[in-house]
Amino acid sequence: MSLKVLKFGGSSVGSAEALRRAAAIVHTELPAGGLVVVSALRGSTDRILDACVAAAGGYLAEAQAHLTALRDRHREVATDLGLLPAVAAEWEPLFARLDQLLTGMGMLGEATPRGRDAALAVGETLSAHLVAACFGGTFREVREVMRTDARFGKARPQLADLRAAAAPWREGLATGTLWITQGFLGATAEGLTTTLGRGGSDTSATLLGEALDAEEVQIWTDVDGVLTADPSLVPEARPIPQMSLGEAEALSAFGAKVLHADSLAPGGRAGFRLVVGNTLRPGASRTEILPVSPLREPGAVTSVAYKEGISLLRFPASEGLEPPLEAARQLEEAGALRFGLVSSPAGTLLAVRPDTPAAARVLKALAASGPELEAGWAVVALVGEGLRADPLAALRHLAALGQEPVGGLLTGSSTVSIAFLVPESRLGDLIPRLHDRCVGQPSTHAAPCQKAG
């Protein structure tokens, strides 16, 4: 029997109305059963984290206020659906447990990563019980199968153990039942609760898809699949009907927000189809991400991605590779994202996004110690399988735009993308023009980049 795994994010289960829509999708997509993976109701994870911070700081009244708000919000949604009586028995111990955890954090004056994960688990578990009641499915505890290491807050799956633990699920699901489980959560071999990192529910769905030999994993979100560009800069951006896993990986690395990078690896290993659909418009176009590339014309660009807030550190050639490598290491450890480290006999360029206050501090300290620092840059990436056959197409585009400062070219090991650095202030003008030129209109979607001039 072919199994499908459907994942619904926080906004798809965030209100009674959204849940009704999601239930209709499940009805259509899983007439013969399957597995549904859910996030916590929108905003719940942040709310629980705020409660932990408040409790650990000794602000118990504030922590309690968060707990009350969380409970009220959940009860309101369940009441709207007429499901409060159906879930109350499962929910009450969860609220009580969160209350105890917060009290414990208050007493200790700290919220350890382990304690935080235990508290966060309440969000996804509340949601999964509600969704099970709403969809007429059976709640299954994901911590029975999602084995991880003990890196609390960003646990890594233990694939062999996960697969072994999932054997009863493979059998159970083969009988055509509908099961609902939590995303984001895992457990160590000793049974301690872990989480996979923020936004980790997509990864839960694809990991479970892999372990359960699913034929398809569907990620339901609130956009029409993966788009050819960011619609806030390019109103004509449109969904990409089919793309390769390589294109999806490059897009998520260079800025597209739809899919979490970690969520793509299981599809590469297991070869299932990954589908991204819009809960608000289930009939609208969706994106299918395939393990093998769909046919692309040489030079064709599938999507234009960008990421702003990039800082450049330039190291003189005379210093060799040690200082830039050490800088990259320190920055990443502090939570910066590295977009490029390019070295030539003329010098070394390190492009990073200092995403945390700690990383911003490290960056400042590094700049004070020698290398030249420039803030205000953005990475722009042209992504497409077509670039494998004609990598220079992307350069022709760039040349044709006759644009001013390009801070550097970042070519990675992936041949499905070419990225370059431009001043952030140029994005609003550059991205629509690049999109128009490279991706163009729907009819020319698969056409190669036009020649320069």
Q: Which two tokens stand for residue 228?
A: 């050819």
User: Least distance to Mg ion from the beta carbon of 336, Å?
Assistant: 22
Helix 84-108 / helix 60-80 crossing angle, nearest 10 deg: 170
Cα gap 390→437, rounded to integer Å: 16
User: Least distance to ligand ASP from the beta carbon of 194, Å?
Assistant: 13
- Contact code string over 36-75 relative to Mg ion, x by CB under 5 A: ----------------------------------------
User: Least distance to ligand ASP from the beta carbon of 142, Å?
Assistant: 12
| Segment near ligand ASP (CB under 6 A); pick from 197-205, 302-310, 397-405, 430-438 | 197-205
User: Least distance to ligand ASP from the beta carbon of 123, Å?
Assistant: 6
Looking at the Cβ atoms of 186 and 432, the one nearer to ligand ASP is 186
Q: Is 428 exposed, middle or buried (0-12, 13-18, 19+ CB in 10 A)?
A: exposed
Q: Which of 14, 106, 186, 199 lies at the binding interface for ligand ASP (CB under 6 A)?
A: 199
Looking at the Cβ atoms of 204 and 311, the one nearer to ligand ASP is 204
Residues 6+ apart with CB under 8 A from 299: 386, 387, 389, 390, 393, 448, 449
Asked if residue 338 lies in contact with residue 351, where contact means CB atoms within 8 angstroms, the answer is yes
Asked if residue 86 lies in contact with residue 136, where contact means CB atoms within 8 angstroms, the answer is no
Partner in contact with 106, chosen from ligand ASP, Mg ion, none, beta carbon below 5 to 8 Å by kind = none
Q: Which of 8, 184, 306, 339 lies at the binding interface for ligand ASP (CB under 6 A)?
A: 184
Asked if residue 22 lies in contact with residue 221, where contact means CB atoms within 8 angstroms, the answer is no
| Segment near ligand ASP (CB under 6 A); pick from 194-202, 241-249, 317-325, 359-367 | 194-202
Write the CA distances from 214 to 174, 181, 248, 331, integer angstroms.
11, 15, 20, 38
Output the residue with the shortest Cβ distance to ligand ASP.
Answer: 201
- Contact code string over 189-228 relative to Mg ion, x by CB under 5 A: ----------x-----------------------------
| Segment near ligand ASP (CB under 6 A); pick from 68-76, 198-206, 213-221, 350-358 | 198-206
- Contact code string over 4-43 relative to Mg ion, x by CB under 5 A: -----x----------------------------------
Q: Which of 193, 194, 201, 293 lies at the binding interface for ligand ASP (CB under 6 A)?
A: 201
Looking at the Cβ atoms of 41 and 434, the one nearer to ligand ASP is 41
Partner in contact with 251, chosen from ligand ASP, Mg ion, none, beta carbon below 5 to 8 Å by kind = none
Partner in contact with 200, chosen from Mg ion, ligand ASP, none, beta carbon below 5 to 8 Å by kind = ligand ASP
Looking at the Cβ atoms of 63 and 223, the one nearer to Mg ion is 223
Q: Are strands 303-315 and 347-353 parallel, antiparallel or unpaired?
A: antiparallel
Contact between 198 and ligand ASP by CB under 6 A: the answer reads yes
User: Least distance to ligand ASP from the beta carbon of 203, Å?
Assistant: 8
According to CB under 6 A, which residues from 119 to 138 bind ligand ASP?
Answer: 123
Partner in contact with 386, chosen from ligand ASP, Mg ion, none, beta carbon below 5 to 8 Å by kind = none
Q: Which residue has the tokens 């009704």?
A: 20
According to CB under 6 A, which residues from 246 to 305 bind ligand ASP?
Answer: none
Cα gap 185→200, rounded to integer Å: 8
The CA angle 336-340-345, to the nearest 5 degrees, is 130
Asked if residue 313 lies in contact with residue 373, where contact means CB atoms within 8 angstroms, the answer is yes
User: Least distance to Mg ion from the beta carbon of 221, Å?
Assistant: 7
Contact between 152 and ligand ASP by CB under 6 A: the answer reads no
Contact between 39 and ligand ASP by CB under 6 A: the answer reads yes
Contact between 200 and ligand ASP by CB under 6 A: the answer reads yes
Q: Which of 14, 183, 255, 408 lies at the binding interface for ligand ASP (CB under 6 A)?
A: 183
- Rule CB under 5 A: which residues touch Mg ion? 9, 199
- Rule CB under 6 A: which residues touch ligand ASP? 9-10, 39-40, 45, 123, 183-184, 198-201
